[in-house]
Amino acid sequence: MSEPGVLVLAGTPIGNAAGAAPALLAALAEADVIAAEDTRKFRDLCRRLGVAPEASVVSFFDGNEAARVDGLVAQLLDGRRVVVVSDAGMPAVSDPGYRLVAAAAAAGVTVTAVPGPSAVLTALAVSGLPTDRFCFEGFLPRKRGERRARLAGLAAEQRTMVFFEAPHRLDAFLADAVEAFGAERRAVVCRELTKTHEEVLRGGLAELAAWAQGEVRGEITVVIEGAGTSGGSLPEALASVRLATESGRRLSEAVAEAAAAHGVSRRELYDAALKDRSGDKAQPRDPKGPAGR
Nearest to 110 by CA among 85, 89, 79: 79
pLDDT given for residue 87 in this prediction: 95
Per the CB < 8 A criterion, the answer to whether 97 and 86 are in contact is yes
Measured between alpha carbons, how far is 113 from 100 in angstroms, rounded to an integer? 13
pLDDT given for residue 254 in this prediction: 87
Measured between alpha carbons, how far is 30 from 27 in angstroms, rounded to an integer? 5
Taking each continuous run of H as one helix and of E as one strand, the counts in the chain are: 11, 10
Strand partners, 198: none
Per the CB < 8 A criterion, the answer to whether 186 and 202 are in contact is yes
Phi and psi for 116 in degrees, rounded to 5? -150, -170
What is the maximum span of the chain, computed from C-alpha positions, in angstroms? 76
**Which domains are delineated in the chain?**
6-117 (3.40.1010.10), 120-224 (3.30.950.10), 234-292 (no CATH)
- CA distances to 124, 157, 224, 250, 283 from 135, rounded to whole Å, are 10, 9, 10, 29, 34
- CA distances to 14, 39, 44, 59 from 87, rounded to whole Å, are 8, 9, 10, 11
> For the chain, where are the E strands, in sequence order?
6-10, 33-36, 56-59, 81-85, 110-114, 134-139, 160-165, 186-191, 199-204, 220-224
pLDDT in tens, 58-75: 999 999 999 999 999 999
Measured between alpha carbons, how far is 38 from 60 in angstroms, rounded to an integer? 7
Three-state SS for 38-49 is CHHHHHHHHHHH
Name 42's Cβ contacts closer than 8 Å, sequence gap at least 6. Answer: 34, 36, 57, 85, 87
Reduced to 3 states (helix: H, G, I; strand: E, B; else coil), residue 67 is: helix
pLDDT given for residue 291 in this prediction: 41
For the beta carbon of residue 190, count every other beta carbon within 10 angstroms. 24
pLDDT in tens, 246-283: 888 889 888 888 877 676 778 888 999 998 888 744 44
pLDDT given for residue 112 in this prediction: 98
Give per-10-residue mean pLDDT for the chain (293 aa).
Answer: 90 94 96 98 96 97 96 98 96 94 97 95 96 96 95 92 97 95 93 95 95 93 85 75 86 84 79 83 43 40
pTM of structure: 0.75
DSSP assignment, residue 249? -
pLDDT given for residue 264 in this prediction: 74
